Structure 1
Amino acid sequence: MKVRRIIDAHHHLWDLGADHRYPWLMKQSVVRFFGDPKPIQRDYGVPEFREDIGTLPVVASVHIQVGVESGDELAETLWLQDQQRRHGLPSAIVAFCDLTAPDFEARLDRHRVAESLRGVRQIVGRSADEDRATGSDALLENPAFEAGLKRLAELGLSFDLQLIPAQMERAAGLLAKVPNVRVALCHGGSLSDFSPQGRAIWKHGIRLLAALPNVICKVSGFGMFDKAWSAASVREQFHTMLDAFGPERIAFGSNFPVEKLATPYVQVWRRYLRMTAGLSGFEQQRLFHDTAVEFYKLPDTAEP
């Protein structure tokens, strides 16, 4: 393996017996935008995560909030910090905190007691159907959301942006107003419409977001939208992101255990290696390690 160090820049953990609850993991017979969650509606902790990693040189990881019951967000953050103390992972925590809440700053201050906190994710878009049900699309026009992003920047915290291609142009317009907040585009913008028109909308959005120097792109989650994906099938998609953002602003993530519905952990990273086989060692190091270290302010890691 040419890559000596990997940082998994996007994964999840959960404990269904913990004090905080996960409504979507407890609902039965509800198919989500990424498929039927039934196989992962069970505990997924650091020991199993390490088993999935196997002998891959994963030296650090970034946990992204899972979607706990409203009011349980702080409990999730504190549980994750305890997992880090007990097991050494995750290395960084991206929590949920409602940027539009009247007491947003007080809520955020409580999250900041966790020394591994690096940022916030508040999902703007998952799929058109789910977004209509949640109303999350309205965040892009909410002045409180913009103010919350500015506050994150002031505190040195980042924002993980999950949306769908139809929202990218509006999101780019909003983010242009908050140039100091560091933003990670989750799942490469969640391309799910592979028609020529769907790809065109996504490519246009990628170019707009890449034009903002404070935005990086996380490549992850291919299996949510194509269970049969391969290094070859996503080649054009990956190179569109690479050409737009450059290796210095791209990080890889596993999206485990959601991706486990489609692809084993080791296979995900082998496909990433195939996708980047023609790149230089320096470029690969950026994609697999350095971009995530810089963005999430992780301590640099000695080679294993």
Structure 2
Amino acid sequence: MRIDAHHHLWDLNAVHYPWLMESGTPRFFGDPTPIQRDYLLPQFRKDAEAYDFKASVHIQVGAADPWAEAKWVQSVADQHPDWPLAQVAYCDLTSDDLPDQLDRLQSLPSLRGVRQIIGRSPGEDAKSGTNDLLENPKFLAGLRELGERGLSFDLQLLPELMEQTARILERAPRTKIALCHAGSPHDRSEDGLDAWAIALENLSSMPQVFCKLSGLGMFDHDWSADNVRPIVETCLSQFDPERCMFGSNFPVDSLSSTYAELISRYTALVPDTQWEDIFYRTSAGFYGFVAE
């Protein structure tokens, strides 16, 4: 059994995604036009089951109404009991009514954690101001609240923010953290990857932080096993396989590869002895799947 620890689904008739349906707006991950269509569990399963994936984690993906998205994901899980589906929902950790929001989310059996994006890309962050979350004391309080409730936090940010973020996470040691997309190494030059690796040490040194090998095609649509090898090897070295997990980031990463190509590249990158950890054991433990 394998688990895909990071993917998205959407039914465009059920939930509205403003970012997805924008026309003519370039995004850091590419042109979203090819994925402006329904992407439902049966389609995802068709790709994933061909490679022995039998469970997965749905990650929130910018719905106009996050609660509507979370309820819809729960309905998908309920309709497909033969496919264990956990979810990480959106919640604003700085909200004054955070306890009430978390109470509502925790009424959903599929809920495992929360994601609130801190950093997407330098250009988009400069316009959105999401980096400012790190300056808000309510954000730290929210992280602590997650840990007290046994919920995890999916952390999406840029390398430039890792040192500052680590200082905050040190003050919320009970909260498990899943670092999305290997920390988004957006500068793929030699100097850029060196700077990313140094920044990553701020997070990898913390035992509560785990790393997702996901989203490697967002900043390079021509990626191959060879040109991301330094990224994967650095993650495996700093976190060890016991704290690394695979995520396809589909359908967003379908803009740069098929599911088959994705698995083929990771086959070339991950030693056979580490596959069980990266493709099953780490994510099963982190997201609370029942072992088979």
User: What TM-score do the two structures reach when normalised by structure 1?
Assistant: 0.93
Number of residue pairs aligned between Structure 1 and Structure 2 = 291
SS in 2 for 1:55: helix
Unaligned 5+ segments in structure 2 are: none
Q: Which amino acid in 1 is paired with 2:201?
A: R
Partner of 1:10: 6
| 1:54 positional shift | 4.6
1:168 counterpart letter in structure 2: M
* Aligned with residue 113 of structure 2, among 119, 124, 131: 119
Superposed displacement of residue 207, structure 1: 1.1
The AA in structure 2 aligned to 1:80 is V
Question: Does the Cα contact within 8 Å between 2:54 and 2:84 map onto a contact in 1?
Answer: no
Q: Which residue of 1 aligns with 2:76?
A: 83
Check the 8 A contact 2:88/2:114 in 1, yes or no.
yes
Contact 2:204 2:238 in 1 (8 A): yes
**1:250 alignment partner, one of 235, 244, 247:** 244
Q: Deviations over 1:247-301 (max 9, x none)?
A: 0000000000001001001221121111113x42xx2211110000010011113
Among 121, 129, 134, which residue is 2:123 paired with?
A: 129
* 1:191 aligns to 2:182 (yes or no): no
For 1:258-269, what aligned pairs fall within 5 Å after superposition?
258-269=252-263
Mapped pair 1:99 → 2:93: yes
CA distance in 2, matches of 1:193, 1:162: 16
Moved more, 220-229 or 84-93: 84-93
Corresponding residue number in structure 2 for 1:214: 208
Distance 1:112 1:96 in 2: 12
Cα displacement (A) at 1:185: 0.2
- Report how far residue 25 of structure 1 moved: 1.3
CA contact (8 A) 2:204 2:210 kept: yes
Work out whether 1:295 is the aligned partner of 2:286. yes
1:132 Cα deviation from its structure 2 partner: 1.6
Aligned to 2:176: 182
CA distance in 2: counterparts of 1:90 and 1:64, whole angstroms: 14
Please state whether the residue corresponding to 1:159 is helix, strand or coil: strand
CA distances 1:21-62 after superposition (whole Å, capped 9, x unpaired): 110111111111101000001110011112222521001100
- Choose from 140, 149, 159 the match for 2:153: 159
RMSD of the TM alignment (CA)? 1.1
Residue pairs, 1:29-44, within 5 angstroms:
29-44=24-39
* Equivalent position of 2:52 in the other structure: 57
| d(CA) in 2 for partners of 1:98, 1:223 | 27
Partner residue, 1:24: 19
2:85–2:110 contact (8 Å) kept in structure 1: yes
Correspondence for 2:265 among 267, 271, 277: 271
CA contact (8 A) 2:112 2:151 kept: yes
In structure 1, C-alpha distance between the alignment counterparts of 2:227 and 2:235, rounded to whole Å? 14
Q: Which amino acid aligns with 1:86?
A: Q
- Residues in 2 aligned to 1:102 and 1:95: alpha-carbon distance in whole angstroms: 18
Structure 1: where are the runs of 5+ without partners?
A: none
Counterpart position of 1:73 = 66
Task: Verify the 8 A CA contact 1:63 1:90 in the aligned structure 2.
Answer: no
Identity over aligned residues, as a percent? 49
Read off the aligned partner of 1:17 and give its amino acid letter: N
Residue 298 of structure 1 aligns to a residue in which SS? coil
Return the letter of the residue paired with 2:278.
Answer: L
Query: Is the CA contact (8 Å cut-off) linking 1:124 and 1:161 kept in structure 2?
Result: yes
Tell me how far 1:75 sits from its aligned partner.
1.1
Establish whether residue 205 from structure 1 lines up as the match of residue 195 from structure 2.
no
Distance across 1 between alignment mates of 2:35 and 2:50: 23
Q: Report the TM-score, using the length of structure 2 for normalisation.
A: 0.97
> 2: CA distance between counterparts of 1:227 and 1:129?
18
Return the alpha-carbon distance in structure 2 between the equivalents of residues 209 and 173 of structure 1. 9
